[in-house]
Structure 1
Amino acid sequence: MINSELISLHGGHSGQFCCHAQDSLEDLIKAYISKGFKAVGISEHMPPPEHRIIYPDELEQGFSVKDLGDRFSRYFFELERLKKKYKSDIRIFKGFETETVTGSPALVRSLIREFNPDYIVGSIHHLNDRCFDYSRQDYEAIAADFKGLDTMYTAYFDAQYKMILDLHPFVVGHFDIIRIYDPDFEARLDKPEIAERIQRNLSVIKELGLVLDYNLRPLAKGKKMPYLTPAILERAKALGIPVIPGDDAHSKEQAGMFVDKAVQSLKDMGFSTNWPTPRCMTPA
């Protein structure tokens, strides 16, 4: 168990290693320490398996696949340095966040062998190799290609199910991020063909001993509801799935933001705050 009530296992994105973040990784670590964190997991994005998966902001800055791979290597080197430097102040768990695109499962396993992370966060940002959460315009275009949001949602939860079975990520990241630009998401998540997939995915998360990310990034953007929705939280609680806060911080100001409130919310719902220790569970 982790000896710290304050925790984030999804986040720590820094401007040093992520084009859409700010500040150095060391500044983020110092921010966690200043806010009373005794443990934190850092989970920077993995590099892309090929050029067409590179994010627009990375392309704008002229990054190639090799550049991003080299940057990822520097990330783990820096993370190890910071882990040693601040070991008397905070326990740092070394991780990374996956993508789910063509070629990513083999790359995830290769990165695990090379960098020996403490854990990984399994996330879905793409459908059919197209990123749906980068902008509302992209989201709507992909939904149109799926002939509607209902089909897009089912494709998302099917892709998530496959990723979970394949990678066994210790943390399943922002489980319901597919609703990011959908104003009617609460009703849509209740539709039978979608609700059944949610229950199936939660059941396999429980079976494999994984944890769910209580992702607080929407709150930092001024929205009212984290990922997960209250209804999904209730389902997770009924199954006995651990739920752990993730600030998904992209700056030192966001490091630890809303985590104290999230911990209290989880307590109020009856979740345990005896957080399980991250471990890498991906089959070879």
Structure 2
Amino acid sequence: MRVLPASPLRVSIHGGHSGQFCGHAEDTLEDIVKAYIAQGYSWVGLTEHMTPDRVEHGYPEEAEAGLGAKDQHTRFTEYIATARQLQEKYASEITLFVGFETEAFEGYQLWLQHLLDTLKPDYIVGSVHHVQDMLIDSTPADYRKAADVFGGMDALYAAYFDRQYGLITTFAPTVIGHFDLIRIFDPDYRKRLVKPDIWSLIQRNLEAIKERGLIMDLNLRALLKGHQEPYISRPILEEARKMGIAVVPGDDSHGVKNVGQFWEEALQVLSDAGFDLTWKSPV
């Protein structure tokens, strides 16, 4: 275990999901911003989930709450406006970046481009939560169902990394969110990730990230869910370091109580992997 350098800046490149604008989060966006300020954060990216083009592409809890696609879009535009107001209001206390997190459902490209053109975020976090319109991070049962549709876990991993590659090469998101989220319900992920056919896809995607100068999100929400390591897992993290790819912590907060969670663990993971704990800003 390496000795940590003194006082690296507190930052989160992926955070700020709030109950105000997300059905599976808690608290108001302003209360979350205040929590970051109270913990001494230097800068934070507010990165709410992008709105779906139709209700079938959204999260189940939104539909259960009776929110149609139009309702969700109205709420999302309100999120951008509110985040801009907070960005200005608290400018003397914290640097806030106003962004959003992508979805990669079938046919997402035109809708994502529309959101980029009309809402003009500071940056986006490129994340994949769907493979062939199946959510892969909702429940173990849905995850197994997706694997069955693809004919096994290896094929599901391949489909995930192919979808991610398309997102990277088409949109070059400033930040790549929870790179290996596909491992979420796989107890054998450590062995599976390094299988030659899967590892070659990972290396391909990392090369695409490197070529475009993108940043990877060390996503700490995995620890909150009981995982032993964040997304990105250690072999991928070490490969990213060898390639000179910037990696920055993201607490992926979904409420005040998540703000700053596992910060020390993030620093230790990155230090042990050989990173210098200086952060590349997304803007």
Tell me the TM-score normalised to structure 1 length.
Answer: 0.94
Query: Identity over the aligned pairs, expressed in percent?
Result: 48
Matches within 5 A, 1:74-153: 74-153=78-157
Structure 1 position 63 matched with structure 2 position 70: no
The structure 2 residue matched to 1:30, chosen from 18, 31, 34, is: 34
Shift of 1:220: 1.4
Shift of 1:36: 1.0
Q: Could you tell me which residue of structure 1 aligns to residue 4 of structure 2?
A: none
Aligned length: 277
Detail structure 1 runs of 4+ shifted over 4 Å in the superposition: none
- Which runs of 5 or more residues in structure 2 are unaligned? 1-7
Cα separation, 1, equivalents of 2:91 and 2:195: 47
Q: What amino acid does structure 1 have at the position aligned with 2:38?
A: S
Shift of 1:169: 0.4
Matches within 5 A, 1:143-222: 143-222=147-226
- Which runs of 5 or more residues in structure 1 are unaligned? 280-284
Answer with 267-276 or 103-112: which moved more: 267-276
Structure 1 position 20 matched with structure 2 position 12: no
Q: What amino acid does structure 2 have at the position aligned with 1:51?
A: V
Cα deviation, 1:99-152, whole Å, max 9, x if unaligned, reads 001232112221112121111000000001111111111000010111110110
Tell me the TM-score normalised to structure 2 length.
Answer: 0.95
Cα separation, 2, equivalents of 1:261 and 1:187: 23
Question: Contact 2:215 / 2:282 at 8 angstroms: preserved in 1?
Answer: no
DSSP 3-state at the match of 1:93: strand
Q: Could you tell me which residue of structure 1 aligns to residue 243 of structure 2?
A: 239
Q: Could you tell me which residue of structure 2 aligns to residue 259 of structure 1?
A: 263
Cα deviation, 1:154-199, whole Å, max 9, x if unaligned, reads 1111111111001100110100000000000000011110000000
- RMSD of the TM alignment (CA)? 1.3
